[in-house]
Amino acid sequence: MKTNRLLPLEAMRGIAAIIVTFYHFAEGFADQAFPLLLGSPAFVLINGDAAVAFFFVLSGAVNCRPLFRDASPWSLFRSLVRRWPRLMMPALLASLFSWALYALDLYHFREAALITNSGWLARMANGAEPGFEPSLLDAIYQGTIGCFITGSSNYVPPLWTMHYELLGSLLVMVVAAGLARMKLWTGLAFGIAAALAAALFITPFYLPVFVCGALLTFVLMRQGSEAPISGWTMPALLVPVLYLLNYAYPLGMHAWIPRLPGGLGLEMLRIGIQTLGALGLVIICLRWEALQRFASGRGAKLLGELSLPIFLLHVPIYCSASSWVLIHATPSQGQVVATFLAWLTAVALTLPASWVFAKVDAIGGRLTMTAIDKVLGVLRGKLADGARLAAERSQG
């Protein structure tokens, strides 16, 4: 449920989506920027991994709210049933968009990768795996089932996140239904146990990130600490938050952070540090009075509405139109100018495409949720009738 007080979070989600686009553009078209920025204060502007951590924390922090208000078994069941179909609509639209680009032979990422020497671009962010053959049925499957169950994302590589988004949001709903009946310390112990249990079953360690978001909302609501505050507390908190969100590896300004053994240890450390930063950013968005005033208008709302479309569409656009511009502009303009033109092309196409995408998704999502609610209404009526008949028989 969105309120005006949550609009700064929506706006920040839009900013996080833009950071992901910077991250991927650097990987595909200017990977020489990584050695220059990694470990420097500027890396926070392109740290796509930290942006994803923020997405997951925000999902946990927001999806738990309805169940904190009404944790009845029916409300939990309704929330669980509605989640997958609601996520399915944008995933399907994006997969069909990418399939159409394949069908029309508009992808040029392999040729562009010969100019940029980017393995990321040559593989379409690991979407164009060896042996992959695009088809309409496969695009429909990946957009409706595959990306959620196995994380398959050949058509739209950012759809790998939908696997964790579905599992994480379902987990958060169940945890939130339990937290709603608990006092502060009991709830904290329960939530931490749930996060640790989730970490044992699925790696990377993204599911606990959702639970951390829900726990933050639980603590703020139990403590009555969601009211915006003035002064320098929140601006001061922004400094360590950005430092945490800057982290990728223990290099540069993070060189003092101990290295955990093995690749899994490094990944666990990265996700943990970025999650702490994301939690702090949620607190800032909720409690910084000046930010609440600044980011509570139409612009913030629009940024939030476009966040998911931008996140899903930018890679197909990079690998089609931007790649085409790079290929044709490099011989006459040079690679630097051609790269800039490729980025301008991406901006010029992604924004209007995202606006159309958001409108179609909103209409489709509204129709889907209306249909599901009607079915659930009939089911609830049948259950009520059955319970009433059972009660009458027991009395008779």
Instruction: Specify the pLDDT at position 150.
Output: 92
* CB 270, CB 53: distance < 8 Å: no
What is the C-alpha separation between 226 and 283, in angstroms, rounded? Answer: 8
Tokens 């009458």 identify what position?
A: 392
What is the C-alpha separation between 193 and 147, in angstroms, rounded? Answer: 28
> pLDDT tens digits, residue range 46-63?
999 999 999 999 999 999
Over pLDDT 70: what percentage of the chain?
A: 97
CA distances for 33 relative to 67, 68, 392, angstroms: 44, 44, 73
> pLDDT tens digits, residue range 319-364?
999 999 999 999 999 999 999 999 999 999 999 999 999 999 999 9
What is the C-alpha separation between 214 and 201, in angstroms, rounded? Answer: 19
* Residue 2 reports pLDDT greater than 60: no
Instruction: Provide the residue ranges of all domains of the chain, joining segments of one domain with +.
Output: 4-395
144 or 262, greater pLDDT? 144
Structure tokens at 305: 């509405």
* Cβ-based neighbour number of residue 290 at 10 Å: 12
H-type helices in the chain, by residue range?
A: 7-29, 33-37, 48-63, 65-69, 73-103, 109-116, 119-122, 136-141, 147-149, 160-179, 184-201, 207-223, 233-245, 262-287, 289-294, 298-317, 323-333, 335-395
What is the C-alpha separation between 279 and 282, in angstroms, rounded? Answer: 5
**Confidence category of residue 204, pLDDT binned at 50, 70, 90:** low
Residues 114-133: what's their mean pLDDT?
92
Burial (CB < 10 A; 0-12, 13-18, 19+), residue 345, is buried
What is the C-alpha separation between 85 and 361, in angstroms, rounded? Answer: 12
Residues 79-86: what's their mean pLDDT?
94
Q: Whole-prediction pTM value?
A: 0.94
> pLDDT tens digits, residue range 5-39?
788 999 999 999 999 999 999 999 998 888 888 88
